[in-house]
Chain A
Amino acid sequence: MALLEIRWHGRGGQGAKTAALLFGDAAVETGKYIQAFPEYGPERMGAPVFAFNRISDEPILQHCGIKRPQIVVVLDPTLMQTVDVTDGLPKDGVVLVNTQKTAEEIKKELKLTTQQVYVVDASKISNEILKRDLPNTPMLGALIKASKLLEFEPMLKSVKQRLEKKFPTRPDVVDGNIKAIKKAYEEVGE
């Protein structure tokens, strides 16, 4: 696999950085070279934030920012009104949005013609299962399905391990997140 770059759009507190780290971790488990890094600006709860991934079969040497990602993941649909989420996206790029709308509607809203658009209501999934609007982990499931970058089961195993480390006394949180990832994986559509 040639080098592929991903940009995550979220709001401070939504877990864009965590999603990028979880994705990076899972990719390493399956033998890939990766980078995962947030853009550290003035961080405030609710303010637009970015996180990034690079993934490749070869060692990754560059340490510059990512300006032309092949894949964009939007954790919060309201960002599309204030942030140019498709900035630098190539003609054959992929956009994945957490939204109640259809892919066609998003395509029109973002004025996209050639790019592939995937949608999933990750907030609904999160609210149902985790009782909170934390769309980052379900979006990870949707990303795996839409991008076919990683195999699903090994990714799930890796995420579970990392969450268990992060929440050693909260098996409910771990299980809820895994369930949400699975559901988003199933529900994401073009």
Chain B
Amino acid sequence: MIVARTGNEAMAEAMRQINPDVVAAYPITPATEVVQLFSKFVHDGLVDTEFVPVESEHSACSACCGAAAAGARVMTSTASQGLALMHEILFIASGLRLPIVICLVNRSLSSPINIHCDHSDTLASRDAGWLQIYTENVQEAYDTTIQLVKIAEQALLPGIVSTDAFIISHGMERVELLDDKEVPKFLGERKVEYSLLDVDNPITIGCLDLQDYFYEHKRSEIDAMDHVLPIIEKVQKEFGDKFGRYYPIVDEYKMDDAEVAIMAMGSTGGTAKVAVERMREKGKKVGLIRCRVYRPFPEKAMLKALTKVKVLGIMDRSDTLSTLGGHLYNDARSILYESSTRPLMKNYIYGLGGRDISIEEIETIYEELFNIKKSGKVDKNIVYFGVRGE
């Protein structure tokens, strides 16, 4: 069914079709609508979900952990400070291998207080052991929400599907929704090996784990992250074969003959695709690498993409506040260290707190990358694009 939906509406629809066993949530702008709409589905009897309106995001994530440990299919939604307040529990979810899925709206972190888009919230949680998939538009947000439930349950890892605040969360677009019956069929039942509620086979979850075994358990969690990419690929392919929409791990756009390229995440990927088209109309061979699966970082696929060009502009809608630039930039530099071919790289931090990034601005970045290609050197590795006073 083709309809017009905002990102929040589409993610709420996906949750309705997924029909999770438990949703525990606390509202926060700009993700409030996701759960608000979902709570209406609960009220109207359209889902069988046990809906738990808790008193904070810390409690939301905790309730999700308890339910997931009992074997339930569990989802929630949050943004920004809400995710930050969950931070402590995020590690508990991943450490206990609980496949919770968060529909997340990317909003900057305070202070200064701001409700608009940047990726600092999810990136501050990048080391929490959660899968992170960043989406470009409403359709992808909807599709990925459904895919991620299946991926998370197969990998026994929790996951975050990310959408840009307001740009996607409150932006209405044309979306194709799947048939209500198709989604549960695609997902199947959650199969649990161990459940807290299986009284015939009692187990302990979350017990003290000291010098003798903690390290082995942590190592097995890292191992799960190491083996999740094939699961993501498999689920994405199944989804594509069934519903006709295929998603890659790394979204390469016009990269095969590109001389210079930028890398970006989220809705900027779409804007950059238009910039690529305009540059190519002027005869300039440019490409785009959109990082869709960010955690785990898809080293092999990313390395293949990054080394296709001589010059790379890495666009980060976040800063690590470490003097080393943005998150994507650091990941890209890290995987290129062992590579025999290394492109020249420049880091463009942009769009913090929701500052708009236009097609023309991205074109100026491409022009600058061509200048770097010509001169063979990067004068300044990290720049703050579009900020006043520089």
Contacts and interface: CB of A to CB of B under 8 A. Distances in A.
Contact of B2 (A28, A61, A65): A28
A37 B268 contact: no
A35 interface: yes
Given A21-B172, A63-B267, A34 B274 contact: no
A36 B4 contact: yes
B298 interface: no
Contacts of A67: 358
Interface string A146-183: 00000000000000000000000000000000000000
Interface residues of B, number: 26
Contacts of A10: none
Interface residues of A, number: 21
Contacts of A2: none
Given A62-B359, A63-B164, A24 B274 contact: no
Nearest to A53: B172
Contacts of B136: 63
A61 B270 contact: yes
B166 A34 contact: no
A63 B167 contact: yes
Interface string A55-71: 00000111111010000
B270 A63 contact: yes
B271 A36 contact: no
Given A34-B173, A34-B174, A63 B4 contact: no
Contacts of B296: none
A36 B168 contact: no
B167 A37 contact: yes
Pick from A20, A37, A63 the residue with the most CB of B within 10 Å.
A63
B4 A61 contact: no
A62 B270 contact: yes
Interface string B259-291: 000000001101101100000000000000000
B166 A63 contact: no
A89 B267 CA distance: 25
A2 to B, nearest CB: 13
B137 interface: yes
Contacts of B190: none
The list of the 6 closest CB pairs from A to B, nearest first, reads A63-B267, A36-B172, A28-B4, A61-B270, A37-B171, A25-B4
B288 to A, nearest CB: 11
A32 B172 CA distance: 13
Contact of B172 (A34, A40, A61): A34
A57 B23 CA distance: 38
Interface of B: 2-4, 115-116, 136-137, 164, 166-168, 170-174, 267-268, 270-271, 273-274, 356-359
A64 B270 CA distance: 9
A28 B271 contact: no
A38 B165 CA distance: 12
A36 B115 contact: no
A44 to B, nearest CB: 15
Interface string A1-41: 00000000000000000001100110110001111111010
Pick from B136, B168, B170, B173 the residue with the most CB of A within 10 Å.
B173
Given A24-B4, A34-B4, A64 B358 contact: yes
Contacts of A62: 270-271, 273-274, 359
Given A24-B172, A33-B174, A61 B271 contact: yes
A64 B4 contact: no
B262 to A, nearest CB: 15
Contacts of A35: 171-173
Pick from A28, A65, A67 the residue with the most CB of B within 10 Å.
A28
B166 A40 contact: yes
B250 to A, nearest CB: 18
A64 B271 contact: yes
Contacts of B3: 28
A35 B6 CA distance: 9
A64 B359 contact: yes
A58 to B, nearest CB: 11
Nearest to B357: A64
Contact of A63 (B2, B116, B171): B171
7 contacts: A24-B4, A35-B171, A40-B115, A61-B137, A61-B271, A61-B273, A64-B271
Contacts of B172: 20-21, 24-25, 34-37
A88 B3 CA distance: 31
Nearest to A31: B2
Interface in A44-59: none
A63 B115 contact: no
